[in-house]
Amino acid sequence: MRIDKFISRALAISRKDARDIIKSKRVKIGSRVALKNDWEVNCEDVFLDDKKIEFKEFYYLMLNKPKGYISATYDEKQKCVLDLIKGYEKANLFMVGRLDIDTVGLLILTNDGPLAHKLTSPKKECFKKYYVEVDGEFSLDDIEKLKLGLDLYDGKGKAYHTKEAILEIISKDKAYISISEGKYHEIKKMCQKLNKEVTYLKRISMGNLVLDESLKEGEYRELTDLEVSMLKENC
């Protein structure tokens, strides 16, 4: 592969930015400084500032989504979660599932289509856990009701019965709710059905992957290899 193509793909940056890096003589092929953009490279052998460049096919990012951003890659009018992500312009990232504009917390961004499908497919039963605050009071009866499922309408107005959800009550108006599907406004509608309005909603985990609480809202980081394998194994 040409060195400029390799750098652009490995670092998920534009070809122009890759060429600028090469021009600044920070790139070596083996021990030799790369002088031309069309030099051919073996992917094992490329260094930037003397650090080996690992070629990545897939990227996995964890974002602590803030309020006010829609779960979309591009929108003319509204701010999108992808607007928060810098330096991955060439990685073709997309969101794994969606969070409402006013929901905060864990959102995974990746270019790994099969994994994204696994994580969002209701058949795979990957549980997503939410911290929920409501205007109203949770009762012990709600635990059973959510376990058995509720009759709701999806985003297209089609009736459906929710899959088993797990309610863990923290206090009268705070709880964790875990669901394995991702229907439109599902938690909000579940709570409405139980006569409560959601006032705050935060996703805190997907499968075994837990939101890194050191990330402030709007911040993101790449998943570690361990976290990626946890995601792959548990969903």
Q: Does the active-site annotation cover 100?
A: yes
Binding mask 96-115 for ligand URA (x = CB under 6 A): ---xx--x------------
Report in angstroms how near the CB of residue 188 gets to ligand URA at its nearest.
4
Which stretch, 5-13, 43-51, 185-193, 218-226, contacts ligand URA (CB under 6 A)? 185-193
103 within 8 A of 162, measured Cβ to Cβ? no
Report in angstroms how near the CB of residue 144 gets to ligand URA at its nearest.
20
Which stretch, 31-39, 163-171, 183-191, 220-228, contacts ligand URA (CB under 6 A)? 183-191
| Closest by Cα among 198, 127, 132, 128 to 171 | 132
| Closest by Cα among 223, 204, 10 to 109 | 223
| Closest by Cα among 75, 59, 60 to 108 | 60
Nearer to ligand URA, 27 or 209 (CB): 209
Asked if 173 interacts with ligand URA (CB under 6 A), we say no
Report the C-alpha gap between 21 and 194 in whole angstroms: 57
Nearer to ligand URA, 91 or 95 (CB): 95
| CA distances, 120 to each of 134, 150, 217, 221 (Å) | 25, 20, 23, 21
Can you tell me whether residue 125 is helix, strand or coil? coil
Report in angstroms how near the CB of residue 148 gets to ligand URA at its nearest.
19
**Chain centroid to CA 81: how far?**
10
Asked if 154 interacts with ligand URA (CB under 6 A), we say no
Asked if 188 interacts with ligand URA (CB under 6 A), we say yes
101 within 8 A of 69, measured Cβ to Cβ? yes
Which of 13, 63, 152, 201 forms a contact with ligand URA (CB under 6 A)? 201
Binding stretches for ligand URA (CB under 6 A): 99-100, 103, 185-188, 201
- Which residues are identified as catalytic? 100
